[in-house]
Amino acid sequence: MFTNFFKKFKNFLWPEIYENNRINLFERSPFIKNFFYQRKNFAYLRTLGDIIFLILIILGLFGPQEKDRNIMLFLSWGVWWTSVILSWFFLGRMWCALCPFPGLARLLQNLKLSFFKNPPKFLKDKGIHLATFLFFLIIYLESTTSLTSSPRYTSFFLISIVLMAAFFGLLYREYAWCRYICPLGRITGVAATMALIEFRPDYRICKTCKEVLCKKGTPNIRPCPVYLGAVAVQNNLNCFICGHCLILCPHNSPAVYLRHPLKEIILNKGKGITCAYVIPFLIGSQLARFLMEKDFFHNWANTLAISPNILFTLLFFWFSMVIIVISKLAASFFRVIEDPILGKFNLTIAILIPFAFTGELIYRSKYFLENIGDFFPTLARQFRIEFFFKWGFTVPEKFIKLWSFSLLNLSLLGSLYLIFYFYYKDFEREIPFKRYLHFVGIVFALYLSYYVLIFISK
Ligand code: SF4
Ligand code: SF4
């Protein structure tokens, strides 16, 4: 029995073919299957999220404006952001199924206050660029303005996203904002390629399906909110794993699967414009953000006689450009950049993906751990409940470092795994290992950069 388990485990970790190596969670767990089929579960969760979101906005607009007297700041930037990022690894893009941002758009559409047009071609083609730009704009504003320390600005920021989503909901049917423009949705979709779960149909069943109701919907049930339907889901980029199309499919084709978290990166190999720019800019922004937290960063700015924001901007672009140039040079050195079926790909980008998304988790969870201890004292100050003052605590710095160090090592393992998998299995040792060595070099150089920036003292 033990040998059997070991074989299965080995095959899961180091599979021959990824496609067949996954566990159907609907078959294994009736609880999970019921949870997805009972649509009211998602409705309850979404309503709860909408209510909490509304309370946060009200607290930001009308509550105290001092950072240590309004819990909405920590709940928004510490709990909410960190949970979204943590969900990338376990739930893929499921966060989007519960997201409160399109709440107003949904309400307008339910009231039939929408033109219900089909999204135009330019949105489909160019939306991706706008979404990527908006995501980095948020990161930039977070680092260079008082957005994260002002409850009112935070509320304005949240309201502005709700209004933009509502505007798109007013013009187009379903969730055009979420599918094409939302900056959080876009980054969540790219990160979901590293998720432990996937929502997929059984393509053999779909081949024989005449109705394709998962895509079209029925007169009583709306179609997929992001214009896919299970039949069109081939990766985790756009599907919300909301399960809405389960009740549309008459053939029980779609299901949720547990899978190897690096499967999609291996299949995709860093292909696509989203990967090519999101990954370098995300890594570049993280290195600049970690650096900005140090005291000597401000000394540098003084020495150069420029403002810290300008220095941050320069470093952000510098680090991002370095990653882009290195990834292109490495690709040309590797020489294999095209596949007859897959098209052009970039292995360097694929190999750096674990660092990009785990780096974001390190950054956000560090903020969470540094501020969680002050949550109850802030609550006490805001609502004058003396009792809560006693519940204040400080998370030891050693623990935060250990947590960050563990995550960083996990990304290193993930990247090295990808290199060795590409060498042994994917390219079947046809390409000499010395050509992979520069990937190993890049990975260790990046590991060291993160290590130094995260762990050197202020
Ligand atoms: S998921 Fe169901 S409805 Fe959609 S194409 Fe496949 S079998 Fe048909
Ligand atoms: S394909 Fe199905 S699970 Fe995915 S977003 Fe559309 S309705 Fe939801």
Q: Is 212 in the pocket of ligand 1 (CB under 6 A)?
A: yes
Strands of the 197-200 sheet, one edge to the other: 22-24, 255-259, 197-200
- Does the CB atom of residue 240 touch ligand 2 within 6 A? yes
Ligand nearest to the CA of 39: 2
Spatial separation of the C-alpha atoms in residues 23 and 257, rounded to whole Å: 5
Ligand 1 neighbour 214 (Cβ under 6 A)? yes
Q: Name which residue sits closest to atom 4 of ligand 2, judged by CA.
A: 239
> Side chain identity at 222, as an amino acid letter?
R
Which residue's alpha carbon is at the smallest distance from atom 6 of ligand 1? 206
Ligand closest to CA 185: 2
Ligand with an atom nearest the CA of residue 249: 1
| Ligand whose nearest atom lies closest to the CA of 231 | 1
d(CA 218, ligand 2 centre) in Å: 15
Task: Tell me if 454 CB under 6 Å of ligand 1.
Answer: no
What phi and psi, each to the nearest 5 degrees, are found at residue 2? Answer: -65, -40
Identify which of 207, 221, 253 to mutate to test ligand 1's pocket (most ligand atoms within 8 A of the CB).
253
CB 127 within 8 A of CB 181: yes
Q: What is the atom index within ligand 2 of the atom nearest the CA of 240?
A: 5
pLDDT at 18: 61
Ligand nearest to the CA of 97: 2
pLDDT confidence of residue 346: 84
Measured from the CB, is residue 369 less than 6 Å from ligand 2? no
Q: What is the predicted pLDDT for the residue at 331?
A: 79
Give average pLDDT by consecutive 10-residue segment, the chain, 458 residues: 70 68 93 96 94 97 95 96 95 95 95 95 91 93 94 97 97 95 92 94 94 93 94 94 95 95 87 77 95 91 93 96 90 73 80 95 96 96 93 95 96 94 82 85 95 84
Q: Is the CB of 247 under 6 A from ligand 1?
A: no
Which ligand has the minimum distance to the alpha carbon of residue 241?
A: 2
At a CB cut-off of 8 Å and minimum separation 6, what does 80 contact? 56
Number of other residues whose CB lies within 10 A of the CB of residue 220: 5
Atom of ligand 2 nearest to the CA of 243: 3
Q: What is the SS3 assignment for 401-432? A: HHHHHHHHHHHHHHHHHHHHHHHHHHCCCCCC
Nearest residue (by CA) to ligand 1, atom 2, is 249
Is the CB of 199 within 6 Å of ligand 2? yes
- Of 198, 200, 244, best ligand 2 pocket probe by most atoms within 8 Å of the beta carbon: 244
Give yes or no for a contact between 417 and 443, defined as CB atoms under 8 angstroms apart: no
Ligand sitting nearest the alpha carbon of 203:
1
Q: Which ligand 2 atom sits closest to the C-alpha of 199?
A: 3
**What atom of ligand 2 comes closest to residue 246's alpha carbon?**
2
- The pLDDT, as a whole number, for residue 119 is 95
The predicted structure's pLDDT at residue 17: 62
Is the CB of 410 inside a 6 Å radius of any atom of ligand 1?
no
- Distance between Cα 458 and ligand 1 center (Å): 56
Is residue 233 within 6 Å of ligand 2 at its C-beta?
yes
Contacts of 124 (CB under 8 A, 6+ apart): 180
How many whole angstroms from 204 Cα to the centroid of ligand 1? 10
Q: How far does the centroid of ligand 2 lie from the alpha carbon of residue 297, in Å?
A: 45
Name which residue sits closest to atom 2 of ligand 2, judged by CA.
Answer: 245
User: What string of H, E and C letters represents the secondary structure of the chain?
Assistant: CHHHHHHHHHHHHCCCCCCCCEEEHHHHCHHHHHHHHCHHHHHHHHHHHHHHHHHHHHHHHHCCCCHHHCHHHHHHHHHHHHHHHHHHHHHCCCHHHHCCCCHHHHHHHHCCCCCCECCCHHHHHHHHHHHHHHHHHHHHHHHHCCHHHCHHHHHHHHHHHHHHHHHHHHHECCCHHHHHHCHHHHHHHHHHHHCCEEEECCHHHHHCCCCCHHHHCCCCCCCCCCCCCHHHCCCCCCCCCCCHHHCCCCCCCCEEEEECCCHHHHHHCCCCHHHHHHHHHHHHHHHHHHHHCCHHHHHHHHHHCCCHHHHHHHHHHHHHHHHHHHHHHHHHHHCCCEECCCEECCHHHHHHHHHHHHHHHHHHHHHHHHHHCCHHHHHHHHHCCHHHHHHCCCCCHHHHHHHHHHHHHHHHHHHHHHHHHHHHHHCCCCCCHHHCHHHHHHHHHHHHHHHHHHHCCC
Q: Is the CB of 262 under 6 A from ligand 2?
A: no
Q: Is the CB of 85 under 6 A from ligand 2?
A: no
Q: Which atom of ligand 2 is nearest to the CA of 223?
A: 7
Please give the distance, rounded to the nearest whole angstrom, from the Cα atom of residue 305 to the centre of ligand 2: 52
Measured between alpha carbons, how far is 12 from 224 in angstroms, rounded to an integer?
31
CA angle 259, 324, 140 (to 5 degrees): 85
